Amino acid sequence: MAHSDRYAMLLSALPYHGPLFGATQTPLSRIRLNQRLALLDPDEADCLRHARRLLEWAQQEPDRTDAQSVVRAKQVIEGITNPFIRDLVTWRLELRTLVAALRRRHRGESAPRDRRWGFGRWTSRIMQHWNEPAFGLERAFPWLPEAERLLARGGTVDLERLLLGAVWNHLESCSDGHYLDFEAVVIYVLRWDMIARWTTYDGEEAARRFDELVEQAMAGVEKSLRPSADTARPVRA
């Protein structure tokens, strides 16, 4: 079967996901989704699995140091041969680095001195512009000033909503021109993951869970810059 035919068959079997924040459940179950994804060839399935492994909270390894996590992320990304998927994953990891920096600064901590604290092209910029609003990156990331305000106000759920909305909109902009191809499948699956994550939240439980995730992510930030950095836990913003 030709690739285009397989993609058409696969995507036609995936229900429309609708808006993120209007969802009350995923458009189809995880079991059904995995059954549909069986139409992918092994290389495509591996590419998708690697991308999800880096992006899903549940698949992170808490015993890794920040430096180890960054090295591992770079290794996995270098192994993703599809440039579109590689760029998607890179963008998400850079977003997490920005959020980790916001949280660190909000806690009154100083700028990191070791670039291994975060991932991507913005680490040096963040370190150099630590005391500037939004690290001077509001043009590249228009949601950053609002994220700062919500963080200062303690709006945990609103902050989570803002960040998920930023990712959702980014996926929307990336979907242009991808309708019956592998990239369209990946975008659908990443959106499915986001819906699954959001629909598990409920009021105070959402706030508790988000704070727990952020605290876990930030637990290694201080330690990662000390001489005993190899005992620190990784940053996962």
Percentage of the chain exceeding pLDDT 70: 78
Q: What is the pLDDT of residue 222?
A: 44
Q: Are 37 and 47 in contact (CB under 8 A)?
A: no
Could you list the beta-strand ranges (E) of 2-127: none
Those residues whose C-beta lies under 8 Å from the C-beta of residue 76, and which sit 6 or more positions away, are 50, 53, 54, 89
Residues 166-204: tens digit of each pLDDT: 999 999 999 988 988 999 999 999 999 999 988 887 544
Mean pLDDT of 140-159: 91
Q: Higher-confidence residue: 4 or 199?
A: 199
The helix/strand/coil state of 183 is helix
Asked if the model's pLDDT at residue 29 lies above 60, the reply is yes
Amino acid at 74: K
Asked if the model's pLDDT at residue 114 lies above 60, the reply is yes
Amino acid at 32: R
Q: Is the dihedral of CA 230, 233, 235, 236 positive or negative?
A: positive
Q: What is the pLDDT of residue 134?
A: 94
Taking alpha carbons only, the member of 205, 193, 140 closest to residue 168 is: 193
pTM value is 0.79
Asked if the model's pLDDT at residue 86 lies above 80, the reply is yes
Those residues whose C-beta lies under 8 Å from the C-beta of residue 123, and which sit 6 or more positions away, are 97, 112, 115, 117
Asked if the model's pLDDT at residue 218 lies above 70, the reply is no
Q: What is the pLDDT of residue 80?
A: 86
